[in-house]
Amino acid sequence: MATKSTNRDGGFGSQVLRVPKLSDRVADMMLETILARDLRPGDPLPSERELSEQYAVSRTVIREAVRYLVAKGAVDVVSGRGLSVAAVEATSVSSSMSLYLRGNHRDMPYRLIHELRMTIEPEIASLAADRATPEGVQQLRADHQRLRDSIDDIEAAALADVDFHLTLAKLTQNDLFVIVLNSVGTIMVDIRRAKLSLPLTHNNGIREHQKILTAVAKGDAEAARAAMRSHLEESNRVWERLQKEGI
């Protein structure tokens, strides 16, 4: 399908039509077939010749489509065995989602990120309190200490903040939470840099994260959920202040 570029205010500016290459369309059809047939990682795919006949295109087009799918991590090419469905790693999913967000975040309202976080992070904190190991709590303490130690370093503080939340996701022992938070991590570093430029924001953040840490360490799921919700609500208020002040 052709795509149109839009301007910043949401209306259509100069319209640029991009017609997808034939190999891109073939790659999309191959992916649809993989999903429709419920193929699993390692399942073999038709040969280059068979794919060429199936889609009525040249082998050159098939090769380009396959290269695209290999780059996306959807297909493997094994010497002597041909094509097969790839095992999609969590890191690949996170990377793809992160690239999408990085490419669109300047036009993406902060509200969307906040809604996502409000939906999943209180539950992440609650599950972390239920499932955290002593080693996991120790890592969470280390992340919090890095946040405390970076009072004069906005960059280090932003990274420590993001790592704290990512560690919480890992403590749930649910890789899907890790994938989502990994995906928004880079954007959240940018957002935290801006927030930490405000006076007292760092100290307030340290206290809010301490409440989450304490609840998780005690295994108090409800307190962890409430502390995270309170933290995110305060974070949203800080962002609204940034917008009003034009920072």
- Give CA–CA dist 180/58, Å, rounded: 39
- Give CA–CA dist 120/244, Å, rounded: 27
Q: Helices (H), strands (E): how many in the chain?
A: 10, 2
Chain segment 30-47, per-residue pLDDT in tens: 988 888 888 888 999 999
Chain segment 47-93, per-residue pLDDT in tens: 999 999 999 999 999 999 999 888 877 889 988 789 999 886 665 55
Q: Give the DSSP letter of residue 85.
A: E
Contact residues for 236 (Cβ-Cβ < 8 A; gap 6+): 114
- Give CA–CA dist 68/220, Å, rounded: 47
- Indicate the CATH number for domain 22-85: 1.10.10.10
| φ, ψ of residue 103 in degrees (nearest 5) | -75, -15
Chain segment 123-149, per-residue pLDDT in tens: 999 999 999 999 999 999 999 999 999
Q: Where in the chain is the domain with CATH 1.10.10.10?
A: 22-85
Please state the length of the chain: 247
Contact 55, 48 (CB under 8 A): no
Q: Where in the chain is the domain with CATH 1.20.120.530?
A: 92-245
CATH T-level assignment (fold) for domain 92-245: Four Helix Bundle (Hemerythrin (Met), subunit A) (1.20.120)
pTM of structure: 0.64
